[in-house]
Amino acid sequence: MACLIAAPSSGSGKTLLSLCLAAWARAQGLGLQPFKVGPDYLDPQLLSRVSGHTCRNLDPLLCGPEWLERCFSWHGSRADLALVEGVMGLFDGRGPSSEGSSAAVAAQLGLPVVFVVEASRQAGSLAALVRGFRDHGPPAVQLAGVVLNRVGSERHHALLAEALASIEVPLLGVLPHHPSLELPSRHLGLLPPEELQDLEQRQEQWAELAARHLDLEQLLPLLAPPAAEPGAENPIHWCLRQSSHSRQTSHLRQSPQPLPVAIASDAAFHFRYPEAGELLEAVGLEPRAWSPLADEPLPDGCRAVLLPGGYPELHTAQLAASRRSLGDLARAAAAGLPLVAECGGLLLLGEQLADGEGQLQPMAGVLPFKARKGSLSLGYRTATATANGLLVRPGESFCGHEFHRWQLESLPNCDKSVAAGDGLWQLDGWGTAARSEGWTAPNVHASWLHLHWAGCPVIPSRLAAAAARAAPLPTSAASCSPTNPGPRSSKNAGV
């Protein structure tokens, strides 16, 4: 039943092996369903593009263990093959524990582990490293074998194979030095597929490398999909049944006319789990792609706006020049349309955003802050709501993930508590001080925190209810003119 591809650490070659197997399977006309452990947006985009199947995140901390099993079984059983790419090192989880780690997911789903080792500077020591990971626990792992990355020569290959044989661990193949296996990256991870101009050529080369250098006879049985469960329920429907609030929006799902919701979708905003769109549709909303980078007006009849994470800091000048989009966003806030923003989407709502060189550019001006590059904020967070807002109620607790290098600065003439983001929830996580974070208002929910809505289905249900109450954004002359600066006087509207 499938396998989990893990490694001693990030950068070992988990993604490269997963991409090679996905490319080979597609070249053979086989449908391979990829999964990714942990809160990752970029690896799944590459795996989705190469495999032709939407990659699904498996994160027991964000979504809970039952969702994990249902998601894996439902999507995996509908494909010819399946694999799960792990996260970081095999036992790396929340803080120093293995909670939420690749090992924990492998143990929960009963998956054998294919271990990828970057072996360019190793020989006999490989045996000690692999033995340590094989025998470490809890949780115990079933090590199916090892794939070696960056093997330099036939002699190097022979040395490493003998080291693995000494501890009776199968060698499942090698990934040699090859230009196609050098993937470019930036400060939050790999480049998305849209920015890899030679992806089609790379995909052909990955398929050839898999056929030539991997032991497919041993690997193929490890890619067998999970068996279909009789009477299994679509995990999206199961998820919504767990939310008592979904009953309040059941009438929306029966409506012949779904309510349109704008979702920022372009090179600046593309950090979104696929379940977000599926859940929106299931509660009676119609996701409509909207590109601030292209200076598009908000869609006609828009009832809410969703601003996901991404890389707005790489596109500050172009976003600042998108006066129609920014003006519509400020107008929507002032009109009371529900606005939901997380991480990079939060940056679009501020007064100013700096690029990597520190050059500030104007944004929508809905929230009173400017943002500059700063220290890294990274890790799982428990968020306890402290206010009654658009999507949360006091005392509710959610698990999310924080990952950003830009930090917010108060504006000189603003109320410091508001400018600091006080009011939405208290964030707490390993190795970081508890703090208030985010903005909440009757029509605004904005935070650094990434949530996976499969773990908190009350969120899309409440968004649907708010969208049903909102009046559609009226078309105005301002939104029709790309050169009009928009209603900048609506600063802090809705907050």
Nearest-10 Cα torsion for 305, 310, 313, 314: -120
Out of 55, 343, 399, 456, the active site residue is 343
**Residue 137 reports pLDDT greater than 60:** yes
Tell me the C-alpha distance between 336 and 98, whole Å. Answer: 43
Say which residue, 380 or 253, is predicted with more confidence. Answer: 380
Residues β-bridged to residue 304: 261
Distance CA 31, CA 217 (A): 18
Residue 381 pLDDT greater than 50, yes or no: yes
**Amino acid (1-letter code) at residue 126:** L
For the chain, give the percent of residues with pLDDT over 70: 91
How many angstroms separate the Cα of 306 from the Cα of each of 34, 140, 327, 346?
A: 26, 41, 16, 10
User: Rounded CA gap, 197 and 199, in Å?
Assistant: 6
The domain 235-490 is placed in CATH, from the list 1.10.620.20, 3.40.50.2300, 3.40.50.300, 3.40.50.880, at 3.40.50.880
Span 76-86, pLDDT tens digits: 999 999 999 99
CATH number of 4-223: 3.40.50.300
Report residue 478's pLDDT band, with 50, 70 and 90 as the boundaries: very low
Do the domains 235-490 and 4-223 match in fold? yes
Give yes or no for a contact between 425 and 412, defined as CB atoms under 8 angstroms apart: no
Output the CA torsion sign for 149, 152, 156, 157.
Answer: positive
Residue reference for tokens 């009789």:
230
Does the active-site annotation cover 343? yes
Rounded mean pLDDT, 131-147: 96
Kindly list the domain boundaries of the chain, sorted by start residue.
4-223, 235-490
The answer to whether 379 and 432 have CB atoms below 8 angstroms apart is yes
Report helix angle 199-213 to 14-27, nearest 10: 90
Residue 216 has pLDDT above 50, yes or no: yes
Average pLDDT for 458-485 = 75
Q: Does the structure show a pLDDT above 80 at 393?
A: yes
More confident residue, 475 or 283: 283
Question: Which of 421, 301, 297 minimizes the C-alpha distance to 371?
Answer: 421
| Nearest-angstrom CA–CA distance, 335 and 470 | 9
